[in-house]
């Protein structure tokens, strides 16, 4: 079990009025699973992603990640866990515009104190894994949207995270670029990385092995198993 939520609630205060965003969320995710969470705007899916990514903590309930209770940790401890265990991919790429692709990918390793030579080698390898080995010295404004997202994925995986969180990873991409990103996710899943993806697109969600639905801050159902991808489909997209 890589993570477990037990009766998690999340409230925010607007003025003096509490707003209930997540209501009694419980879920378990096994190591190596690839699942999608679907929900309309305002359903609580981004708040749930923030909790899973240790960017926020529950108002009540328990969150256990890799055997560690998260809910009562300090901000510094949460930052360490994010750096050591979690990779993030967002709809917006959040690349630093004045840094090359390889420099952007090296950043998480810099924060870990990894030596420069090793940082560079691991960042180059991550970029080759996502098909950008020929563009390591390109700046973001020299890359397409799909290529920028692949740089962001390389940055997310360069530290060998236990958990990869993706929030609308194809939302800003054209169809072909979106398919390329989903193929990379499929390959990462085959390598054993646990992936949780937030999306409102059914077609994208069906790339995962399980789909959960969130509505009005509550998970609906326990996650539906998806049929295995056919190799012919995989080959066609590769």
DSSP string over 148-215: HHHHHHHHHHTT--SEEEEESTTTTS-HHHHHHHHHHHHHHHHTT-EEEEEES-HHHHTTSSEEEEEE
Would you say residue 56 has pLDDT above 50? Answer: yes
Q: What is the pLDDT of residues 163-213, one digit of tens each?
A: 999 999 998 888 999 999 999 999 999 999 999 999 988 999 999 999 999
End-to-end CA, the chain: 31
Asked whether the predicted pLDDT for residue 234 surpasses 60, the reply is: no
Between 23 and 236, where is the model more confident? 23
Q: How high does pLDDT run on average in the chain?
A: 90
Containing H/E element for 233?
helix 231-237
pLDDT (average), residues 4-13: 94
pLDDT in tens, 134-149: 999 999 999 999 999 9
Specify the pTM. 0.88
Structure confidence at residue 223 (pLDDT): 62
Question: How would residue 101 be classed by pLDDT, with cut points 50, 70 and 90?
Answer: very high
Is residue 24 predicted with pLDDT exceeding 80? yes
Return the H-helix or E-strand segment holding 4.
strand 3-14
Range name among 110-124, 135-149, 213-227 with the lowest pLDDT average: 213-227
Distances (CA, A) of 140 to 107, 149, 164, 169: 15, 10, 22, 17
pLDDT at residue 230 greater than cutoff 50: no
**b/e per residue, 12-50, with b = 16+ CB within 10 A?**
eeeeeeeeebbeebebebeeebbbbbbbeeebbbbbbbe
Q: Which residue has the higher pLDDT, 236 or 119?
A: 119
Determine the Cα–Cα distance for residues 154 and 168; give it in Å rounded to an integer.
17
């Amino acid at each position: 079990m890589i993570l477990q939520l037990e009766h998690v609630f999340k409230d925010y205060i607007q003025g003096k009025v509490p707003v209930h965003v997540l209501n009694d969320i419980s879920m378990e995710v096994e190591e190596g699973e690839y699942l999608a969470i679907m929900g309309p705007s305002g359903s609580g899916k981004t708040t749930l992603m923030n909790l899973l990514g240790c960017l926020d903590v529950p108002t009540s309930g328990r969150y256990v990640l890799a055997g560690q209770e998260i809910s009562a940790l300090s901000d510094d401890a949460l930052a360490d866990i994010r750096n050591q265990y979690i990779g993030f991919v967002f709809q917006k790429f959040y690349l630093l515009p004045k840094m090359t692709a390889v420099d952007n990918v090296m950043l998480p390793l810099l924060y870990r104190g990894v030596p420069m030579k090793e940082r560079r080698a691991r960042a180059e390898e991550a970029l080759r894994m996502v098909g950008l080995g020929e563009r390591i010295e390109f700046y973001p404004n020299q890359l397409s949207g799909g290529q920028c997202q692949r740089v962001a994925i390389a940055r997310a995986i360069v530290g060998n995270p236990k958990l990869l969180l993706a929030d609308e990873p194809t939302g800003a991409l054209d169809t072909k670029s979106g398919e390329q990103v989903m193929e990379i996710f499929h390959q990462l899943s085959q390598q054993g990385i646990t992936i949780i993806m937030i999306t409102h697109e059914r077609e994208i969600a069906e790339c995962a092995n399980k789909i959960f639905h969130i509505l009005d801050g509550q998970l609906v159902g326990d996650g539906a198993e998806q049929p295995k991808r056919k190799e012919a489909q995989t080959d066609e997209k590769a």
